[in-house]
Structure 1
Amino acid sequence: MKALLPVKCKESLKEDVISIPETLMEWPISSIAFGTVQYACKPTYHSGGILYLSKKIYEELMLPYEGKIHLFVHEDVLHLGPLIGIFTAGFTNSIIRPIGERTLFFSKLLSTEKKVGAYVFLFGANHINWEDGTMEGYMFSDKGWCRRTLPFPHVVYDRLPNRRTEKHKLLSETREKMQKDYAIPWFNPGFFNKWDIHQKLMIEENIVPYLPETSNKVTIEKMESFLAKYPFIYVKPTNGSLGFGVYKIIYNREEGFYYVRYKNVELQNKLMRFSSLETMLGTVMKNKDLSGYLIQQGIPLIKKDDSHVDFRVHTNKDESGRWMVSAMAAKLSGKGSVTTHMNSGGVVKTISEMFPGREDQEDITQKLTAASLLISEAIDTHLPGFIGEIGFDFGMDKEKRIWLFEANSKPGRSIFYHPKLRYEDILTRKLSIEYAVYLTEQTIQHPDGIFS
Structure 2
Amino acid sequence: MIRTKVGVSIQSTSIYLDDRTVVLSEAIAKKLKVPSHQTITMRFGSSQQEGKVIVAAVPGSLRIDPDFASRIGLHQGARLNLHYKPQVNTLSIGPLIGVMISRVNTSSPSKPFGAMTTFCKELTTASERFGALVCFFPPKEMHPNAQTIDAYSYVDGSWSKRTFPIPNVIYNRLTSRKYENMPNVQQFMKDVKSRYGTVIFNEKYLNKTEVFDALRKDSSLHTYLPESHLFKNFQMLKTMAARHPVLFLKPITGSLGNGIIRIRREGEETYSTHVTSLAGVRRQTYPSLLSAFQSIAGKLKTQRFQLQQGLDLITTEGNPIDFRALVQRGETGQWEITSIVGRIAGSQHFVSNLARGGSLSTVPEALAKASFSLPTRKVIIQRLRKASLDIAKGIETQIPFHFGELGIDLAVDRSGRVWLLEVNSKPSKDDNTALNNDNKIRPSVRQLVKYARYLAKF
Same-fold call, TM > 0.5?
Answer: yes
1:277-332 C-alpha deviation (Å, 9 max, x unpaired)? 33333333415327711111111101123211000000000011111000110000
Q: Partner of 1:54 in structure 2? A: 64
| Partner of residue 210, structure 1 | 224
Residue in 2 that maps onto 1:449: none
How big is each residue's C-alpha offset from its partner over 1:385-408, in whole Å with a ceiling of 9 and x where there is no partner?
Answer: 321000000000011000011011
SS in 1 for 2:82: strand
2:194 aligns with one of 171, 180, 192: 180
- Amino acid of the residue matched to residue 5 of structure 1? K
Name whichever of 314-323 and 176-185 sits farther off: 176-185
Partner of 2:12: 11
Shift in Å at residue 183 of structure 1? 2.9
**How far apart in 1 are the matches of 2:76 and 2:189?**
27
Query: Matches of 1:168 and 1:155 in 2, distance apart?
Result: 20
What residue in structure 1 maps to residue 401 of structure 2? 385
Which aligned pairs between 1:111-126 and structure 2 lie closer than 5 A?
111-126=125-140
Distance 1:50 1:130, change over 3 A: farther
The yes-or-no answer on 1:243 pairing with 2:257 is: yes
Query: Which range is displaced more, 212-221 or 427-436?
Result: 212-221
Deviation at 1:132, TM superposition (A): 7.5
Query: Root-mean-square deviation (CA), in Å?
Result: 2.5
- Specify the alignment match of 2:159 in structure 1: 145
Shift of the 195–422 alpha-carbon distance from structure 1 to 2, 3 Å rule, reads farther
Match of 1:275 among 272, 284, 287: 287
Deviation at 1:166, TM superposition (A): 1.9
- Large movers: runs of 4+ above 4 Å: 46-49, 128-132, 416-419, 421-425
Is residue 400 of structure 1 aligned with residue 412 of structure 2?
Answer: no
Q: Please report how far the alpha carbon of residue 430 of structure 1 lies from its aligned counterpart in structure 2 after TM superposition.
A: 1.4
State the alpha-carbon separation in 2 of the partners of residues 378 and 422 from structure 1.
Answer: 33
| Partner Cα distance (1:132, 1:212) in 2 | 45
Q: How does 1:27-42 map to 2 (within 5 A)?
A: 27=34, 30-42=40-52
In 2, Cα distance between the equivalents of 1:328 and 1:136? 37
Match of 1:341 in 2: 353
Aligned positions of 1:282-431 closer than 5 A: 282-289=294-301, 292-355=304-367, 360-416=376-432, 419-422=435-438, 426-431=442-447
| 1:416–1:422 CA contact under 8 A, matched in 2 | no
Instruction: Name the aligned partner's letter for residue 134 of structure 1.
Output: T
State the Cα deviation string for residues 389-431 of structure 1 (Å, max 9, x = none): 0000000001100001101111123425775145597111111
Deviation at 1:121, TM superposition (A): 0.7
Specify the SS of the correspondent of 1:92.
Answer: coil
Whichever residue aligns with residue 346 of structure 1, its letter is G
Give matches, 1:46-85, under 5 Å: 46=56, 49-56=59-66, 57-74=68-85, 75-85=88-98
Amino acid at match of 2:2: K
Check conservation: 1:70, 1:80, Cα contact below 8 A: yes
SS in 2 for 1:428: helix
Matched residue of 1:420: which SS? coil
| Count of aligned pairs between the two proteins | 439
Q: Percent identity?
A: 24
Structure 1 position 47, deviation (Å): 5.7
Cα separation, partners in 2 of 1:325 and 1:422, compared to 1, 3 Å? farther
What is the TM-score normalised by the length of structure 2? 0.88
Residue segments in structure 1 that go unaligned for 5+ positions in a row: 443-452
Q: Distance in 2 between matches of 1:132 and 1:168?
A: 16
Which residue in 2 is equivalent to 1:445?
none
Aligned residue for 1:286, secondary structure, equals helix
Alignment partner, residue 241 of structure 2? 227
Number of the residue aligned with 1:447: none
Given that 1:186 and 1:385 are in contact with CA atoms closer than 8 Å, whether structure 2 keeps it comes out as no
Distance 1:416 1:199 in 2: 25
Q: Distance in 2 between matches of 1:428 and 1:287?
A: 37
Is the CA contact 1:262–1:337 (under 8 Å) kept in the aligned structure 2? no
How far is 1:53 from its partner? Answer: 2.5
Residues 50 and 141 of structure 1, relative CA distance in 2, 3 Å threshold: same
Query: Relative to structure 1, is the Cα distance of residues 25 and 296 closer, same or farther in structure 2, using a 3 angstrom cutoff?
Result: closer
- Sort the Cα spacing of 1:432 and 1:283 in 2 relative to 1 into closer, same or farther, 3 A: same
User: What residue is the counterpart of 2:110 in the other structure?
Assistant: 96
Amino acid at match of 2:71: E
Distance 2:143 2:302 in 1: 43
Which runs of 5 or more residues in structure 2 are unaligned? 370-374
